[in-house]
Amino acid sequence: MSKFADLGLKEPISKALVDLGYETPTVIQEKAIPQILSSTEDLKAFAQTGTGKTAAFSLPIVELADDQDNSTQAIILSPTRELAVQIGKNIEDFSKYLPKLKVATVYGGANIEQQIRQLKKGAQIVIGTPGRTVDLIRRRALKLGNVKWLVLDEADEMLNMGFKEELDKVLDATPETKQTLLFSATFPREVEAIARNYMHNPVEVTSGQKNQGSDNVTHEYYLVSERSRYPALKRIADINPNIYAIVFCRTRRETQEVADKLIQDGYNADSLHGDLSQAQRDSVMDKFRKKNIQMLVATDVAARGLDVDNLTHVINHKLPDQIENYNHRSGRTGRAGNKGISVVLVNRKERGKLNPIERILKKKFIENSIPTGKEICEKQLFHLIDRVENSEVNTSEIDSYLPNIYDKLKDFSREELIQKFVSLEFNSFLSYYENAPDLNKMSNDRERGGSRNGRMPSENMTRFFINLGRKDRLNPAKLMGLINEQGINNNVEIGAIDILDTFSFFEIDKNFESQTLDAFSSNSPEFNGRRVNIEITKERKGGGRRRGGNGGGSRRRNGDNNASGGFGRSRNNSNKKSFPKNDNNKSRNSRRPRRR
């Protein structure tokens, strides 16, 4: 009998768990399952992805739901379609020997009529993304009057994505008597506010220390300049020939740019972000799961639904806007008992952002120097030799050619043959790296540009001043929401956001400069009762800007959760990693005398 039965689960469920190969409950399951089974008290659970949290809240619901009653008894809200589908599949697996228990998964970007028909047939357990759930409630297709359990999965992520209003609406549509189960990897103020406002004296359970990352993850950082950020990423990949990593970026544009460069440079990489159609995203995720892609460049949101247990690295090409999200990212590695490395690329200004992360993690980042060309060549060379040593020889396939080959090479000694073979395989790598600069020196150079009093806007961006700040309860998500509401253009790129106490700054794609001014002036929006004013920040003589901002960040684009299609993508990946182009932009084959 599985140890799950000891937690009080009935036979059909224990049997399904045996089929799934679940033997021992994880920490969060051990704590949450008996609690939910034995009490109707609300529950606040600190759990990251990979801890087994889905089963922790689903199994008690499957156990307790009344399969004789067709009404919806459990509503599970999840931030993304992928995660919702994954939860739905898990619950179907858990309830496979309970045929009367029906599960429906509803999410945006799919045919709503079909989902309405499915709900009409009756589903005791409904999993939904917030927007679609509210839509279905509004159409009276989803009735939550009999709900006994409301699960908020990855509550922090739902709030990050700006779903606060939707959460409020779903919470309002459920009866007071329900049991609320809130699962979150981090508990920033907004999540605590949900817990305070909608839960009654919740019991707290945790799969580890609050917000603390996995013990199996080492945290490292590399100091880069903007010029060396991408070359440093390539070198990290080159020094780890077996890398299997997610490279996190903050915006869709950054994601696509980094992925395009990696692909162009011959890496086995691809991108995952909200500009791709669902079919494209499914295909990329499938390839990544099968390891046909070694490096997946992704936005935080798009990577949420990806369930991969054996990543060697998580790479933060740029740190996330909210430091709590670092935990989410780094938690993608070091799962299921594996060790993992979370790498951060930071410039001098960004380095300070590591301090609060260290306090949350209760761990220090290790500073690493960017590998030199020589170190990479050495590593790659021995990797090649290891592969030779361990390769299996299938003589039956090459038998017929061997006599001719032996004959052709008979005049070379063993040493000469090894030298020739290594040169053949390795010369392009050596020549690629022979004149490569020391990127650590580049990173220590002062960044060019910038100003003392304020940040220069990124290239092609216009920096705006706005008369709202922290005191008005403005945060980056709300500011993005406010900008979106002005109807400037669906594709307008929003850049760095700096929220200060009484005012803030944001960047907008230069091409939309006048449209942004016009939209704000004709809409005259208000925010928390204040009339909103924006103006373009002016250059000062000497490069300073009129109003100063601090803080980091680069471009972002509105939202990342709508799966609109139509993005032209190159598809020339082969399963084989070829040699990268030189950091110096010199041709791979340009041979120059070594300067050492």
> In whole angstroms, how close is the CB of 215 to ligand AMP at the nearest point?
16
User: Considering beta carbons, is residue 206 or 533 the nearer one to ligand AMP?
Assistant: 206
C-beta separation of 214 from 52 below 8 A: no
Q: Residue 335 CB, nearest distance to ligand AMP (Å)?
A: 7
CB neighbour class for 410 (10 Å; exposed up to 12, middle 13-18, buried from 19): exposed
Residue 230: C-alpha distances to residues 130, 135, 259, 299, 434 (Å): 36, 42, 11, 17, 19
Which amino acid type is present at position 396?
A: S
CB closer to ligand AMP out of 26 and 251:
26
Question: Which CB atom, from 290 or from 446, has the smaller least distance to ligand AMP?
Answer: 290
**Sites of contact with ligand AMP (CB under 6 A):** 22, 24-26, 29, 49-55, 307
Q: Among residues 250 and 332, whose Cβ is nearest to ligand AMP?
A: 332
Task: Give the nearer residue to ligand AMP in terms of CB position, either 50 or 202.
Answer: 50
Name the residue nearer to ligand AMP (CB basis): 93 or 226.
Answer: 93
Distances (CA, A) of 151 to 63, 125, 186: 15, 11, 16
Minimum distance, C-beta of residue 28 to ligand AMP, in the bound complex (Å):
8
Q: Which is nearer to ligand AMP, 25 or 454 (CB)?
A: 25
Angle among Cα 495, 500, 504 to the nearest 5 degrees reads 45
Least CB distance to ligand AMP at residue 49 (A): 5
Strands (E), 454-555: 461-466, 493-499, 504-509, 526-527, 530-531, 534-536
Based on CB atoms, which residue is closest to ligand AMP, 53 or 252?
53
Q: Which residues does 204 contact at the CB level (< 8 Å), separation at least 6?
A: 43, 44, 45, 46
196-199: Cβ within 8 A, 24+ apart: 198/171, 199/42, 199/44
Burial class (CB in 10 A: 0-12, 13-18, 19+), 476: buried
Residue 570 token pair: 């190159």
**Cβ at position 55, least distance to ligand AMP in Å:** 5
Cβ-based nearer residue to ligand AMP, 21 or 529 = 21
Choose among 350, 129, 31, 69: nearest CA to 222: 350
Task: Provide, rounded to whole angstroms, the least separation between the CB of residue 218 and ligand AMP.
Answer: 21
Distance, CA of 46 to CA of 48 (rounded, Å)? 7
Residue nearer to ligand AMP on the CB measure, 190 or 307: 307
Query: Measured from the CB atom, is 25 or 580 closer to ligand AMP?
Result: 25
DSSP of 432-450: HHTT---HHHHHHSPPSS-
Residue 134's SS3 state is: helix
Name the packing angle between helices 414-433 and 373-390 (round to 10°).
140
Q: Closest separation between CB of residue 492 and ligand AMP, Å?
A: 35
CB-based contact 345:231 (threshold 8 Å): no
Q: Taking the complex as a whole, how short is the minimal distance between the CB of residue 16 and ligand AMP, in angstroms?
A: 12
Task: Report, in Å, the least distance between residue 89 CB and ligand AMP.
Answer: 10
Q: Tokens representing 510? A: 């230069």
Shortest distance in whole angstroms from residue 87 CB to ligand AMP: 8
* Structure tokens, 399: 């038998």
Shortest CB 10 distance to ligand AMP, Å: 17
What is the number of other CB atoms lying within 10 angstroms of the CB of residue 461? 22
**Nearer to ligand AMP by C-beta: 250 or 335?**
335
Query: What's the length of the chain?
Result: 596
**CB closer to ligand AMP, 24 vs 68:** 24
Nearest to 298 by CA among 250, 342, 263: 250
Phi, psi of 369 (to 5 degrees): -90, 150
Dihedral (Cα; 16, 22, 27, 33), 10-degree rounding: 10
CB of 29 to ligand AMP, least distance (A): 6
**Sign for the pseudo-dihedral over CA of 108, 112, 118, 123:** positive
- Closest distance to ligand AMP from the beta carbon of 119 (Å): 25
